[in-house]
Structure 1
Amino acid sequence: MESESSSESSLEKSMENVLHLQNSDNPGLILVIAPLNGTNYLPWSRAMKIALCAKDKIGFVTGEIKKPSKNSPMFKKWRRVDSTFWESNGPLLYNIKREISLFTQGNMPLMVYFTKLKKLWDEVQCLRPFLVCTCGNCTCGASKAIADFDEDEKLIQFLMGLGDHYDHVRNQMLLIDPLPSASKAYSMALRVEKKKDV
């Protein structure tokens, strides 16, 4: 009983340390010099992780620091720290999704088109919260359904942006059941392109 009480006390102290804000911590604080602009995710992410680790706030991003219940004495402190360091990804997510919806192959080689589109998908994946099944080891099939839906979206985006000279390939891919992944569709289109070049 006594060890349980002391472990709760040390956990509470640890939480208090993480929830402590320095005088320099404020909502206008710039943690990294170069803002995320849609093309610099990897260096920005690394710099942000270093900055949050230095401030002992990385646990808010990784999920290690759990949101206390609303009736907990730590809730107000947690909310204050969370609101100091959290900024909505909404505007950036909107811009990237809009760019994806307007993105077409145009005069780009197929390989360049797919690589740029994949980069945009990766950026969206980093900004969007990852949906997970709440049943545990996912016996209900929700995780697979979410992944399949996401893959179908990517396929449709890829096919919509393909040049008109890929109409025949596009139509063939849409008739496949189940739909192929975007990567598989890309490799199929690439094979057709290479056959035309020969």
Structure 2
Amino acid sequence: MAESTTSLSPEFDPRSPYYVDPDFEPNENFPKVILSQADDNYFTWKNLFLQFLRRKNKTGFVDGTVEIPEPSSPLYQPWEVCNARVMSWMMSSVSEDLLAHAAFADTARKAWEDLRKIFVPSVDFKINQLRRRILAMRQDGDEVARYFGRMKSAWMELREYDRLPECSCGGCRCEVKKRAEEGREKEECYAFVMGLDEDLGYVRTQIMMMDPLPSLDEAYALVNNEENLKNMFG
């Protein structure tokens, strides 16, 4: 005798994006980063918020993969509930000056796009902004670790918008991506060492004379070691 299986309705199925959690709490395990224009922290906020939504299986409500059901559909009511919850989470994670963009949008998807346009009005604009920020970045008396963190974060954000070219030859014999990656790593290393304080200038010279040039992470390890020795022996 065949076993019978019972399929759960989407709003009761934890695997479904329409799942309506009966234990819903607005700030449960919520990311601690608040989106703010003053902090210009959209990249960090976006990634943390998406991680939070993945844990809730609700990313589709902001990336557009969960579409609005017809009002006559049995999915419409759970969609309304889930959409409202995502918008509630969003409103709890933005600064007061951005609250209206999340509060008065019709859907979480619309609120998500409105916030994105504030910080990334166009990809070309953002690439230009990030490159200027990287060129102007200096250690300015910070610990090397803190300076490296600022530099690393800026390059990670740039990689999201200024993606390296992909090989299109089929067999990848042209090494386009490899050469592009090598070029980007040189850019990262040069930007990092050129922004070091003058008391670490000798390390900068050593790194720039290395062949091949180290990656950003490798350059940081070398500089951080020198800083530790300098602090230890004065």
Partner of 1:40: 42
1:155 match: secondary structure: helix
Partner of 2:99: none
CA-based RMSD of the aligned residues comes to: 2.6
Over residues 89-139 of structure 1, what are the superposed CA-to-partner deviations in whole Å (9 max), with x where a residue is unaligned? 122222221111111000110000001110000111111233111112422
1:164–1:35: structure 2 CA closer, same or farther, 3 Å change rule? closer
1:7-156 paired onto structure 2 within 5 Å: 38-44=40-46, 46=50, 50-51=61-62, 52-55=64-67, 88-156=122-190
**Corresponding position: 1:170 with 2:172:** no
Aligned residues: 137
Alignment check: 8 A CA contact 1:38 1:96 kept: no
Partner of 2:114: none
Deviates more, 1:40-49 or 1:143-152: 40-49
Runs (5+) with no aligned partner, structure 1: 1-33, 57-85
TM-score, length-scaled by structure 1 = 0.61
Quote the sequence identity (%).
Answer: 24
- Report the structure, 1 or 2, having the larger helix content: 1
Runs (5+) with no aligned partner, structure 2: 1-34, 54-58, 69-116
2:65 match: secondary structure: helix
Please state how far the C-alpha of 1:38 moved relative to its aligned partner.
Answer: 4.5
Please state how far the C-alpha of 1:196 moved relative to its aligned partner.
Answer: 1.1
Alignment check: 8 A CA contact 1:38 1:123 kept: no
CA distance in 1, matches of 2:215, 2:167: 22
Alignment check: 8 A CA contact 1:35 1:44 kept: no
Q: Which amino acid aligns with 1:186?
A: Y
Q: Which amino acid aligns with 2:46?
A: W
